[in-house]
Chains A and B, each alone.
Chain A
Amino acid sequence: MSDMRAKMVSENQCQTCMPLGGVVAFKGIEEAMVLVHGSQGCSTYIRLSNVEHYNEPIDIASSALNEKQTIYGGEANLRKALDNVLRVYQPKVLGVVTTCLAETIGEDMERMIQSYIKDHDIRGVDIIPVATPSYSGSHTEGFWAATKEIIRHYARPVAKHSGINVIIPHISPADIREIKRILDMTGLEYTLIPDYSMTLDRPFGGEYLKIPLGGTRTRDISRMAGARATIQFGLTCPDDLSPGLYLQQEYGVPLIDLPLPFGLENTDRFIEALSRISGRLMPDYLALERGWLLDAMADSHKYNAEGHPVIYGEPELVYAFAALCAENGAMPAVIATGTRNGRLMARVKMLLAEAEEQPIFLEDADFTAIYEAAVSTGANVAIGHSGGKFLTEHLCIPVVRVGFPIHDRMGGQRILSAGYAGTLAFLDRFTNTLLERKYASYRQKKKDELTKGSRMQEAAIEGDE
């Protein structure tokens, strides 16, 4: 099957750009602000996209490069931008992510920031540059790259301690909160990064905070090198961007790479890993939740078996939902990601090796490729972000919304799929989407199918005579 896009033009994108992922990662660090080094539009688009998804005011600064700086270099603008952001936002951490413009004109970020810090005698603020040229990857790679840089900036050799590190890919704030709830139940001490569960999903408090409260604390990040182990939900993360691998190679922190805890088996693996580390059994309440999930899986398995989903989006999410669907008998019809990620494809092929029919695998996919694959496989449901809207508009394939961006429905930040409880919440949405589709048309369909069928039979009999 086609493993890549053979054509040149990209029609309807399945991913967004690298700096966007970088921005989200920085939003998960306590007292952090982000500056996008590039033209004004980049930061505004990234804001717009995040605002629509998270339904929060999200401030992102820009160095607002114009024609002159594009020719002569953007250092003066970057300095001005740093001045203004530091004055108005007073962050403790300032992430500076690059754009394709800054990278193409060859901005030496390390040097420019070092000299700014020196000239202004900046203290009390950590300015962390990350290279995120849009032509080198999608927002997924930008997210990993920034997370790794943040850890690299703070990690120091420290005494071993009993805590663990938990590194997450780009998931919803609700999923982060669920993973933290499970971690809290085990009694383990942990540092989860990047934690935007509070910064990008604030409760109402009658105020707008320029830098929202919450996020991973930098003093905790600096202790990550001494942790007992790192759990990273990054099966598909490329080695050169892997924060967990960095901690293992530089500081000898054992890396436990796990699939996202979406679905029964994947959550089991997470819980098992936690039990092994903590030496304690699964907490009672989690066992109950597992039981409720199993009960629900039995209740809905026949309906789910009718599902032939198209699963698309960020690699780590795609893998987790493919596993979740497969264990419920809804064998994936199409597996697609907008970025190029051989690891995902290899993993999913292993996962579905026993399936009666192999799905179509697409990497570097656009929605036209996904659309064609959906038609050719007879897919009847989709799992992914708002980009899949034409599957519904043109093919009447409903989309169960997960991932990023969700801009045509409410509550992208509250979509829950993690843990036993989250899996159950997702499964109900998925099953009910299938049922809704079925009940909306089955009377007419049956009538057409059977009455037309009987006429055809009659015609066939007449023909025989």
Chain B
Amino acid sequence: MDTYCSQPAGAEAYIEDRKDSILTKGKSKGNISCSSDSLAGAVSQRACVYCGARVVLNPVTDAVHLVHGPIGCAAFTWDIRGSLSSGSEMYRNSFSTDMKERDIIFGGEQKLAACIDEIVAKYAPPAVFVYSTCVVGVIGDDIISVCKEASLRHNIDVIPVESSGFKSGNKIVGYRAAADALLKLITPKDGVHIEPTRKLNFLGEYNLGGEKWVVERYLKEIGIEINVAFTGDSTVAALKQAPGACLNLVQCTGSMHYVAMKLEQTFGTPYMDVNFFGAENTTESLRKIADFYGDEDIKRRTEALIERESSHVRPVIEKYRKKLAGKRAAIYVGGAFKAAAIIRQLKELDVEIVLTGTQTGKKEEYENLSGMLSEGTVIIDDANPAELERFLREKDVDFMAGGVKERFLAYKLGVGFVDHNHDRKDCLAGFEGAVKFAREVHTTACSPVWKHLKNTSVRDVRL
């Protein structure tokens, strides 16, 4: 065992058990190993089931999000998504039952019920989502019955979200818990009839930088209305009208394909995948939607919008493409939907993609990603910092696209960074989003600071 302790392994240090999770396109045989639990001790970038559920449901603006557990779970996810709201700001608060040792020993059900009562008395929210955390699952608090009783007591929706973190390190499991909660919320109660409309639902859109509003504007211009987005800038009342839509768009597939499938089964609403990140994706998505409606007026207006907006975007993209051509990029993000959107946009900018990875990609999603990438590109599932560092170096990357945890790893290596994460403040959707994205890529890939960083030798600062 001394080999563990005394031999410097340097850049060669990697974990044998992880080798099937890393492929090189064109060189590796077989499929990527994915959708499994994270390896113990591998320093995964992943979060937990609770996190998955929370990020999906949190943008429901007027609901109270109550975390049943010790303080950390709530504290770490307070206002974690920068989702924007056109009305209520209730969702930006973080409610916790703040379980203490006593509650762990004697059970936390009474405290949970008391917390719900307090919240309802103080804020009268239309709904309360109650998230279960690790210890709640272990001590066996029956949150389902506590929620049911509270719901009857207060005559509002009190919905349990079964998101005990230990179920998996994979957020997808949490997406499912959130989906079940949403389906519970929108299924009409006995005797309630929801009128069918010509409006559509927009699933997997979280309005982080106002993306929902951009798409809403486009759709309005071509004569289509959004019924409700899941869940960006949504309200409980609007979500309850979801069964009245004639079509469901699915953007973030990881979190919302299941919901779309369920909506089709239950209410017969068809769904289609869309993607409003990048000019090409936006154009295609708008045409698909217009085709679905099959209305000549809608089609004509769609083409007019595309023509007008593309003419604004084209010269900007062209300008940045000249500056960015040949730059090398790495992508490491939460889900495959986001990875695919970024790949396509970077290709429009003539950027070479040398590494792509996700935290939660599925086999078929990786096949799709692989189809978009050129030979020699590294594809990696559930990466850790040691692996990311190795490839950022080996592949001589100019900039990386990812989330907060990857940002400073890139900077430490003198590599640029494009934020595509929960705390970004810029809207990256639609045609204007494509312009912003191109500008951000240029800002970081061509920043003057790298010149100074590259001229600094390691020796200067190795104190």
Contact = CB atoms under 8 A, between A and B. Distances in A.
Interface string B5-48: 11111000111010000000000000000000111111111111
A409 B77 CA distance: 18
A66 B165 CA distance: 8
Nearest to B359: A44
A55 B408 contact: yes
Interface stretch (B241-249, B321-329, B346-354, B453-461): B453-461
B192 interface: no
Interface string A49-71: 10110011101111111110110
A367 to B, nearest CB: 9
Contacts of A47: 405
A208 B66 contact: no
Contact of B115 (A8, A39, A59, A64): A8
B95 A61 contact: no
Interface string A199-220: 0001111111010011000000
B97 A70 contact: no
A406 interface: no
A207 B454 CA distance: 11
A83 interface: yes
A20 interface: yes
Contacts of B135: 100-101, 104, 135
Given A57-B412, A101-B138, A206-B456, A16 B461 contact: no
Interface residues of B, number: 85
B227 interface: no
B169 A124 contact: no
A78 B40 contact: yes
Contact of B5 (A41, A123, A203): A123
B42 to A, nearest CB: 6
A83 B41 contact: yes
Contacts of B49: 41
A17 B70 contact: yes
Interface string B191-228: 00000000000000000000000000000000000000
B139 to A, nearest CB: 7
B41 A100 contact: no
Contacts of A88: 9, 13-15, 41, 43, 386
A242 interface: no
Interface in B409-463: 409, 412-414, 423, 453-454, 456-458, 460-463
Contacts of B389: 208
The DSSP consensus for interface residues of chain A is: mixed
A41 B167 CA distance: 11
Contacts of A60: 43
B166 A57 contact: no
B100 interface: yes
B96 interface: yes
B277 interface: no
Contact of A204 (B37, B76, B412): B412
A62 B412 contact: no
Interface size class of A (residues with CB under 8 A): 35 or more
Contacts of B423: 52, 407
A51 B408 CA distance: 8
Interface in B78-119: 78, 93-101, 103-104, 111, 114-115, 118-119
A134 B8 contact: no
A121 interface: yes
Contact of B413 (A52, A67, A99, A207): A207
Interface in B32-72: 37-51, 66, 69-72
A373 to B, nearest CB: 17
B372 interface: no
A447 B16 CA distance: 73
A104 B138 CA distance: 7
Nearest to B3: A87
B38 A62 contact: yes
A358 interface: no
Given A51-B405, A204-B412, A86 B5 contact: yes
B296 interface: no
A205 B456 CA distance: 7
Interface in B348-403: 385-386, 389
B453 A204 contact: yes
B57 to A, nearest CB: 16
B423 to A, nearest CB: 8
B41 A135 contact: no
B165 A213 contact: no
Contacts of A89: 13
A46 B118 CA distance: 30
A47 B407 CA distance: 12
B458 A206 contact: yes
B386 A210 contact: yes
Given A10-B95, A45-B72, A124-B6, A101 B40 contact: no
Contact of A12 (B7, B78, B119, B461): B78
Contacts of A204: 412, 414, 453, 456, 461
Given A64-B37, A208-B412, A39 B456 contact: no
Given A57-B409, A81-B41, A135-B103, A44 B47 contact: yes
Interface of B: 1-2, 4-9, 13-15, 17, 37-51, 66, 69-78, 93-101, 103-104, 111, 114-115, 118-119, 134-135, 137-139, 165-169, 385-386, 389, 404-405, 407-409, 412-414, 423, 453-454, 456-458, 460-463
Interface of A: 7-13, 15-20, 35, 38-49, 51-52, 55-57, 59-67, 69-70, 77-78, 80-90, 99-101, 104-105, 120-125, 133-136, 138, 198, 202-208, 210, 213-214, 338, 387, 407
30 contacts: A8-B114, A8-B118, A9-B98, A9-B115, A11-B94, A13-B71, A17-B72, A41-B47, A41-B51, A44-B47, A44-B51, A45-B77, A48-B404, A52-B404, A57-B405, A61-B42, A62-B38, A63-B41, A64-B40, A64-B41, A83-B41, A85-B41, A87-B15, A88-B43, A90-B13, A99-B134, A100-B134, A104-B134, A206-B414, A214-B463
9 closest Cβ contacts across the A-B interface?
A41-B48, A17-B72, A81-B41, A40-B169, A84-B41, A81-B40, A45-B76, A13-B75, A124-B5
Given A62-B38, A101-B166, 18 more contacts: A8-B115, A10-B71, A12-B94, A13-B96, A41-B49, A44-B45, A44-B46, A44-B47, A45-B47, A47-B405, A57-B408, A61-B41, A61-B43, A69-B166, A80-B41, A134-B70, A135-B71, A387-B78
